A and B are shown apart, each in its own frame.
Chain A
Amino acid sequence: MAETGLNRAKEICQDRAVSARELKAGGRKIIGYLDIFPVLEMMTALDLVPYRLLGDINEPITRADTCLPTVVCPFLRSVMDLGLKGKYDFLDGVVMAHGCEVSEKTAHIWRIYLDPPYAHFLDTPHTTHPSARQQFKALLKYFKETLEVFTGKELSTEKLREAIRIHNRQRALVRELYHLRKPDPPLVSGVETVQVLIALASLPVAEGNELLRQVIGEVKQRKNGPPGKPARLMVWGSIIDNTALIDLMESIGANVVMDDTSLGSRAYFPPVEPTDDPLDGLAHRYLVALNSPRTFRETILNKINKKDYLTDLENRFGYLKDYAREWSVNGVILQVLRYCDIHGYEVPGLSDYLDHIGLPGIYLEHDYGKAALAQLRTRVQAFLEIIG
Chain B
Amino acid sequence: MAYFMGIDIGSGASKGVVTRDGELLACHLLPSGVNYRVAADKLRAALLARTNISAEDVTGTVATGQGAANVLFSHQQVTDIRSCARGINRVFPSVRTVIDVQAQSSQVIRLSESGQVTNFAVSEKCAAGSGRFLEVIANVLRVELEAIGPLSLKSRNPVTFTTGCAVFGESEAISRVAEGNAKEDILAGVHKALADKISVLMERVGLETDCAISGGGGLDVGLIRSVEENLEVELLVPPQPRFVTALGAAIMAEELEKEKD
Contacts and interface: CB of A to CB of B under 8 A. Distances in A.
Interface string B188-217: 000000001001100110100000000000
B200 A62 contact: yes
A65 B108 CA distance: 15
B200 A66 contact: no
A62 B204 contact: no
A54 to B, nearest CB: 22
Interface in B34-82: none
Interface residues of B, number: 8
B203 A66 contact: yes
Contacts of A374: 162
Contacts of A65: 200, 203-204
Interface in B150-206: 162, 164, 196, 199-200, 203-204, 206
Interface string A59-79: 010110110000000000000
Nearest to A62: B203
B206 A62 contact: no
B234 to A, nearest CB: 20
The size bracket of the interface on A is: under 10
A2 interface: no
Nearest to A60: B196
Contacts of B162: 371, 374
A65 B198 CA distance: 13
A60 B195 CA distance: 14
A376 B113 CA distance: 49
Nearest to A69: B204
B199 A66 contact: no
A65 B204 CA distance: 7
A66 B199 CA distance: 12
A60 B196 CA distance: 10
A62 B206 CA distance: 12
Contacts of B200: 62, 65
Contacts of A63: 203
Nearest to B205: A66
Contacts of A66: 203-204, 206
Interface in A34-77: 60, 62-63, 65-66
A258 to B, nearest CB: 32
Contacts of B164: 371
A374 B163 CA distance: 10
A65 B200 CA distance: 8
Contacts of A62: 199-200, 203
A371 B199 CA distance: 18
A60 B203 CA distance: 13
Nearest to A63: B203
A366 to B, nearest CB: 15
Contacts of B203: 62-63, 65-66
Contacts of B204: 65-66
Nearest to B203: A65
B120 to A, nearest CB: 15
A251 to B, nearest CB: 17
Nearest to B161: A371
B141 to A, nearest CB: 23
B207 to A, nearest CB: 11
Nearest to A374: B162
Contacts of B206: 66
B6 to A, nearest CB: 33
Contacts of A60: 196
12 contacts: A60-B196, A62-B199, A62-B200, A62-B203, A65-B200, A65-B203, A66-B203, A66-B204, A66-B206, A371-B162, A371-B164, A374-B162
Given A62-B203, A65-B200, A371-B162, 11 more contacts: A60-B196, A62-B199, A62-B200, A63-B203, A65-B203, A65-B204, A66-B203, A66-B204, A66-B206, A371-B164, A374-B162
Interface of B: 162, 164, 196, 199-200, 203-204, 206
The 8 closest A-B pairs by CB, nearest first: A65-B203, A66-B203, A62-B203, A65-B204, A65-B200, A62-B199, A371-B162, A374-B162
